[in-house]
């Protein structure tokens, strides 16, 4: 890009596609088939996710935004942050609430989005440097499970907020969740803070409706992972051969999404020379989305060597934004 305020580093190469191939080879030859949720998000998947965020049943996005709108000024005052690092930034829709608060406090220097979706990071960088004169954008195209080390060092000696919003942390099962939190903690200087969005445990019908909407958008989003595998790895999953399943596992306190084969199904993954057989009714787990309690967030932070310094929820306690210090 020609804009002097924008730098974009790219760290996704064939390694990314190899990542999908490895995940398919590993996940779809197990006794219980599984694909990691990060492969939902090609361009169509990002669009479907944006549509999900507008659904009446899907409360997390608007709830988190409302908390941010109410608390952003306090969070910025409390942290004194001049820089926002956002992991899994997507279209940076909620980011503006934080950037506005930083700009209003006269501190905003730089925004560092890290995301796998290159076109989305590029487009939001171009829009944001227009909207926030004087702010720099240093985008990192990468996967926050692998490229945290590529985040540029702070531009000034001032504090940063490292944000992981939307409840994305819930996609990680407890062990990897704590490892990821520990790795993020290692990025933080003494004055930096992690800002973490977590969906909270609420009643099962509301939770399940959020992941199984009337309009069927989440079902399309779920099947999109098969579309990605078909395209990227020359596979022949029949998209209409799978039902969307979403349920709240009360023991683990997480939502699980699965794809259930409607009929016996034999799939060839051309790029891997791999044949996958599914029995009628057999399921592929495509996502877990953990819901939290205050105690669980506290426990995860503690296990990751972090200290909880702030806790903000909506009035109905459906979602929490917490702050943590190294
Ligand atoms: C982007 C991981 C936060 O778990 O709520 C939305 C993804 N899956 N509907 C979530 C998702 C189904 C979302 N996160």
User: CA of 10: how far to CAs of 53, 148, 181, 320, in Å?
Assistant: 27, 13, 23, 32
Q: How far does residue 41's CA lie from ligand 1's centre (Å)?
A: 11
Residue that wins the pLDDT comparison between 92 and 130: 130
- pLDDT tens digits along 239-257: 999 999 999 999 999 999 9
Pocket of ligand 1 (CB under 6 A): 52, 60, 166-168, 170-171, 211, 218, 287, 289
Residues 6+ apart with CB under 8 A from 264: 277, 278, 279, 280
Q: What percent of the chain is predicted at pLDDT more than 70?
A: 97
pLDDT score of 2:
64
Look at phi and psi of residue 240 and say left if phi exceeds 0, alpha if psi is from -120 to 50, else beta: alpha
Say what the ipTM of the complex is.
0.99
- pLDDT tens digits along 109-119: 999 999 988 88
**Would you say residue 278 has pLDDT above 60?**
yes
Q: How far does residue 2's CA lie from ligand 1's centre (Å)?
A: 34
Lowest pLDDT segment from 56-60, 89-93, 205-209, 251-255: 89-93
**Would you say residue 89 has pLDDT above 80?**
no
pTM, rounded to two decimals: 0.95
What DSSP element (H or E) covers 313? strand 307-313
Residue 233: strand, helix, or coil: helix
For the stretch 38-49, what's the b/e string if a residue is b when 16 or more beta carbons lie within 10 angstroms of its beta carbon? Answer: bbbbbeebbebb
The structure tokens listed for 160 are 């940063």
Cβ 170 vs Cβ 288: under 8 Å: yes
Cβ 311 vs Cβ 200: under 8 Å: no
Smallest Cα–Cα separation from 102: which of 52, 160, 46?
Answer: 160
Please give, one letter per residue, the 3-state secondary structure of 55-124. CCCCCHHHHHHHHHHHHHHHHHHHHCCCEEEEECCCCCCCHHHHHHHHHHCCCCCEEEEEECCHHHHHHH
| Closest approach atom of ligand 1 to CA 49 | 6
Instruction: From 39, 41, 165, 166, give the residue whose CB has the most ligand 1 atoms within 8 Å, as the site to mutate.
Output: 166
Cβ 279 vs Cβ 162: under 8 Å: no
Question: How far is residue 160's CA from residue 281's CA, in Å, rounded to a whole number?
Answer: 48
Q: How many CB atoms lie within 10 A of CB 142?
A: 23
Question: How far is residue 109's CA from residue 3's CA, in Å, rounded to a whole number?
Answer: 16
- Binding-site residues from annotation: 58, 88, 94, 115, 143-144, 171, 211, 287-289
């Amino acid at each position: 890009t020609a804009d002097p305020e924008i730098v974009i580093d790219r760290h996704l190469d064939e390694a990314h596609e190899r990542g999908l191939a490895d995940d398919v080879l590993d996940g779809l030859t197990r006794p219980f088939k599984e694909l990691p949720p990060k492969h939902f998000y090609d361009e169509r998947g990002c669009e479907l996710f944006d549509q999900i965020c507008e659904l009446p049943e899907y409360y997390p996005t608007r709830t988190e935004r409302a908390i941010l709108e109410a608390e952003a000024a306090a969070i910025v005052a409390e942290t004194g942050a001049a820089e926002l690092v956002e992991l899994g930034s997507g279209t940076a829709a909620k980011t503006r609430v934080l950037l506005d608060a930083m700009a209003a406090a006269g501190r905003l220097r730089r925004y560092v989005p890290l995301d796998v979706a290159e076109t989305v990071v590029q487009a939001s960088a171009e829009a944001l440097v227009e909207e926030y004169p004087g702010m720099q954008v240093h985008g990192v195209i990468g996967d926050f499970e692998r490229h945290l080390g590529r985040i540029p060092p702070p531009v000034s000696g001032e504090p940063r907020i490292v944000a992981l919003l939307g409840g994305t942390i819930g996609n990680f099962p407890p062990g990897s969740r704590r490892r990821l939190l520990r790795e993020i903690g290692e990025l933080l200087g003494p004055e930096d803070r992690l800002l973490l969005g977590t969906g909270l445990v609420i009643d099962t019908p509301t939770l399940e409706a959020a992941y199984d909407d009337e309009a069927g958008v989440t079902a399309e989003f779920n099947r999109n992972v098969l579309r990605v595998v078909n395209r990227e790895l020359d596979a022949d999953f029949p998209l209409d051969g799978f039902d969307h399943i979403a349920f709240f596992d009360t023991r683990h306190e997480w939502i699980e999404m699965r794809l259930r084969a409607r009929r016996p199904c034999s799939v060839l993954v051309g790029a891997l020379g791999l044949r996958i057989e599914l029995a009628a009714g057999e399921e592929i787990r495509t996502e877990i989305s953990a819901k939290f309690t205050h105690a669980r967030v506290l426990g995860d932070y503690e296990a990751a060597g972090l200290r909880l310094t702030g806790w903000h929820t909506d009035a109905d306690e459906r979602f929490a934004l917490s702050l943590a210090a190294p």
